[in-house]
Structure formats: structure tokens, C-alpha cells
């Protein structure tokens, strides 16, 4: 595995390496160095123009995020069409996320090229903040789901949800779990303080992080978190005892910091009822990323969540917690501290 990949890229890597020896593949997704590591043509486009940024913010403010997605897809497709004409791929692939998905599908249709999609989250539910705007993208996404020549899903659950919403279409279920060859545990000396690290959005996960922060003094542990954006919740968490705000790092720098300065990676998943559908269906991209770093993983999430379902089969049960009970969280942290940081 060339570098830590999120859930969507993990699936893409595993699937495309099987196809790459026989086919010319064009990957259209967001401009991310992880795609370039696949050593396959991929397309990313930045839209820095101030007028476009203002338009995006305005549409988001009035709940019309999907309209921005449709407009952005048109701009991306124009660039993609040029590469399609010169590269002449056998298949176009994208991830079920962002306007690049729409652009990839439209480019495949215009060039009469087969299209395959990696389904790793329920993007339709994630982008729509207001109920009345949900129908704007649904028609386009249904056409993509039905029109793809291959659909690779992370779980039976998300496939069932898509079948109900968009109609039945055959799906290949391919959980984004690293193979044994990509798992290289890092063995460290037992530190005086157990150093816990976590990364990603605070939204929905704040309750878990606050629960962990509450037991740090008694367990002799510290928590360093990395996230984007500023908020009162972020400042409040950083003010807790033994909690440190690591800021926002580029992917390569984050991996390097965690490998060198952390003993345990925390994977939180929301217990809040408003996030239940996403927690049940979407596989956290943090998991395959954390697995490839090779550190022990503490998973805290509801029993119905994808993180818990994965962890109960893949992780030591002492590091899997399905409640916000402080005693259980403290017990999990203490169990690793007693054993050192050896998996």
C-alpha cells in the first residue's frame, strides 16, 4: 500500500489494481495526492475564482448546495472531456462523493465509455441540509447508480439503502479493510503517559471526545486531536485537562506525527440520534487510514454503527466500547496502558 488512503480510495486502490493490468482507467475525483499514488490518470480541478466562491457560499446559505454541485460538475466535465479524448480510457471511475461524481458519469456518457462507481458514503444525505432541497440531486444520482457498469459498496447496509432509494442494481460488496500485508504494527516503549490521537471532523463526534477527555486524568493519558475549521466546541475541547489541539496538518504530515508521537488512535462514532442513518451506513475513512499507520485502535461508538461492527471482529475486545460510560472508557484506556502499546 503506497500511503494511507481513506475508505473510498482504499476501495478504489484494491479494485483498480485488479483491473489496471488489463484496462486503461481514468479516475475522476477530487484533487488529492492519494489518487496520484495510484499511478493512473486522475483529474482534479480547483475553482479559486472569487465570484464562484461567493456563489457557493450564497447557495449554501439558502440551502441550495445541490445547485452548486450541478454547476461545478459542468466546469469539471469540460476539462475531463479533453483528457478522455487524448487518453482514450477503457473505463472511467469515480467515488460516490462531490461534483466529480456527476462530471465523471457525464464524461463517460459523452464518450460512450463504461463507468464504475465506488460507494463509500451516503453523499445525498450528507449534502442536503434542508428537507425541501433533497430532490434536486436525487434524479441525477439515480441515473448514475442505475447507469454504472459496476457498483462497489462498502457494506450490505449501504447497498440496501441505495436499492430502496434508487432502485435495485447489482452491487459488489467490498469492505475497505486493509489486507494483512498492509498492516505493520509499530511497537513502542511504554510511556509515562499514554498518548491518544484522533483526527477528522468534530461534528457528531464531540460527545465521544468529551467523554474520553473526562477520564484522561485518572487514566494517566493525553488526547491530541486534529481537525479543520474553528468553533466554540473546538476551543472548549482544547481547554480540557490533558487535551491538546494539534491544528490541521497535511495528510503526509499527520501520518508522520501520529506514527512518531502517538501510542493509540481513537476512532469515535456519533451516538446522537440525528446521525444514526449515517453511522449505520457510512464506513469511517479514519479506520483504513489508522490501520495502515499500524497503531492500536480504540473504537468508541454505538452498537449499530459501522465502526463498532468492524472493530468487534477486527480489534481486541478490550479496545471496543459501545457506550459513553466513563468506567468502560477508562477501563479500555487502562488495559492498553497496562499492556504497553503492543497489539
Query: 94 or 55: whose pLDDT is higher?
Result: 94
* Mean pLDDT lowest among 26-30, 93-97, 114-118, 281-285: 26-30
User: What local confidence, expressed as pLDDT, does residue 75 receive?
Assistant: 80
Walk me through the domains of the chain, giving residue ranges and CATH numbers. 7-173 (3.40.50.2000), 180-339 (3.40.50.2000)
Residue 126 has pLDDT above 80, yes or no: no
User: What local confidence, expressed as pLDDT, does residue 168 receive?
Assistant: 92
User: What local confidence, expressed as pLDDT, does residue 321 receive?
Assistant: 97
User: What local confidence, expressed as pLDDT, does residue 143 receive?
Assistant: 94
Average pLDDT, the chain: 78
User: What local confidence, expressed as pLDDT, does residue 49 receive?
Assistant: 41
Query: 61 or 144: whose pLDDT is higher?
Result: 144
Question: Once rounded to an integer, what is the mean pLDDT over residues 228-257?
Answer: 86
Residue 161 has pLDDT above 50, yes or no: yes
CA torsion, ordered 201, 205, 210, 213, to nearest 10 deg: -70
User: What local confidence, expressed as pLDDT, does residue 268 receive?
Assistant: 96
Q: Which stretches within the chain are classed as H helix?
A: 7-19, 33-36, 50-61, 65-87, 98-110, 123-127, 135-147, 156-166, 206-219, 232-238, 251-261, 276-281, 286-293, 306-314, 326-339
Instruction: Report the alpha-carbon distance of residue 147 to residue 130 in Å, rounded.
Output: 27
Residue 119 has pLDDT above 50, yes or no: yes
Q: Is residue 131 very low, low, confident or very high in pLDDT (cuts 50, 70, 90)?
A: low
**Which residues contact residue 278 at a Cβ distance below 8 angstroms, ignoring those fewer than 6 apart?**
121, 122, 125, 126, 204, 270
Look-up of cell digits 484496462: 23
Percent of the chain with pLDDT over 70: 73
Question: Once rounded to an integer, what is the mean pLDDT over residues 45-66?
Answer: 54
Residue 278 has pLDDT above 60, yes or no: yes
Question: Once rounded to an integer, what is the mean pLDDT over residues 75-94?
Answer: 83
Tell me which DSSP letter residue 318 carries.
Answer: G
Residue 63 has pLDDT above 70, yes or no: no
pLDDT digits (tens, 9 = 90+) for 133-149: 567 678 888 999 999 99
Query: 45 or 129: whose pLDDT is higher?
Result: 129
- Residue 275, helix vs strand vs coil: helix
User: What local confidence, expressed as pLDDT, does residue 264 receive?
Assistant: 92
C-alpha cell, 125 = 444525505
* Beta-strand relationship, 115-119 and 172-173: unpaired
Residue 183 has pLDDT above 50, yes or no: no
Does this model's pTM top 0.75? My answer is no
- Residue 128, helix vs strand vs coil: coil
* Mean pLDDT lowest among 158-162, 288-292, 302-306, 312-316: 288-292
Question: Once rounded to an integer, what is the mean pLDDT over residues 94-115?
Answer: 89
Amino acid at each position: 500500500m503506497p500511503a494511507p488512503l481513506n475508505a473510498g480510495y482504499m476501495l478504489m486502490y484494491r479494485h483498480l489494481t485488479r483491473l489496471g493490468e488489463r484496462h486503461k482507467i481514468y479516475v475522476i475525483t477530487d484533487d488529492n495526492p492519494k489518487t496520484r499514488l495510484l499511478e493512473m490518470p486522475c483529474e482534479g480541478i480547483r475553482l479559486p475564482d472569487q465570484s464562484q466562491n461567493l456563489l457557493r457560499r450564497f447557495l449554501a446559505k439558502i440551502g441550495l448546495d445541490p445547485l452548486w454541485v450541478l454547476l461545478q460538475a459542468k466546469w469539471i466535465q469540460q476539462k475531463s472531456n479533453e483528457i478522455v479524448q487524448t487518453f482514450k480510457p477503457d473505463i472511467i471511475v469515480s467515488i460516490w462523493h462531490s461534483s466529480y461524481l456527476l462530471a465523471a458519469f457525464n464524461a463517460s456518457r459523452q464518450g460512450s465509455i463504461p463507468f464504475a462507481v465506488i460507494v463509500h458514503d451516503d453523499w445525498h444525505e450528507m449534502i442536503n441540509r434542508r428537507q425541501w432541497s433533497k430532490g434536486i440531486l436525487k434524479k441525477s444520482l439515480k441515473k448514475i447508480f442505475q447507469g454504472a457498469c459496476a457498483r462497489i459498496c462498502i457494506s450490505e447496509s449501504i447497498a440496501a439503502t441505495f436499492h430502496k432509494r434508487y432502485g435495485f442494481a447489482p452491487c459488489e460488496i467490498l469492505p475497505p479493510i486493509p489486507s494483512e500485508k498492509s498492516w505493520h504494527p509499530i511497537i513502542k516503549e511504554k510511556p509515562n503517559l499514554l498518548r491518544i490521537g484522533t483526527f477528522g471532523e468534530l461534528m457528531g463526534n464531540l460527545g465521544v471526545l468529551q467523554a474520553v477527555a473526562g477520564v484522561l486524568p485518572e487514566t494517566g493519558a493525553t488526547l491530541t486531536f486534529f481537525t479543520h475549521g474553528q468553533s466554540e466546541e473546538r476551543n472548549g475541547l482544547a481547554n480540557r485537562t490533558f487535551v491538546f489541539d494539534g491544528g490541521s496538518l497535511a495528510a503526509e504530515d499527520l501520518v508522520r506525527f501520529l506514527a512518531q508521537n502517538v501510542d493509540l488512535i481513537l476512532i469515535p462514532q456519533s451516538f446522537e440520534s440525528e446521525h444514526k442513518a449515517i453511522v449505520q451506513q457510512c464506513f469511517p475513512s479514519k479506520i483504513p487510514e489508522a490501520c495502515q499507520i499500524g497503531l492500536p485502535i480504540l473504537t468508541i461508538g454505538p452498537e449499530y454503527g459501522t465502526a463498532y461492527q468492524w472493530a468487534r471482529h477486527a480489534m481486541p475486545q478490550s479496545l471496543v466500547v459501545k457506550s459513553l460510560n466513563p468506567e468502560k472508557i477508562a477501563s479500555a484506556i487502562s488495559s492498553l496502558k497496562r499492556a504497553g502499546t503492543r497489539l
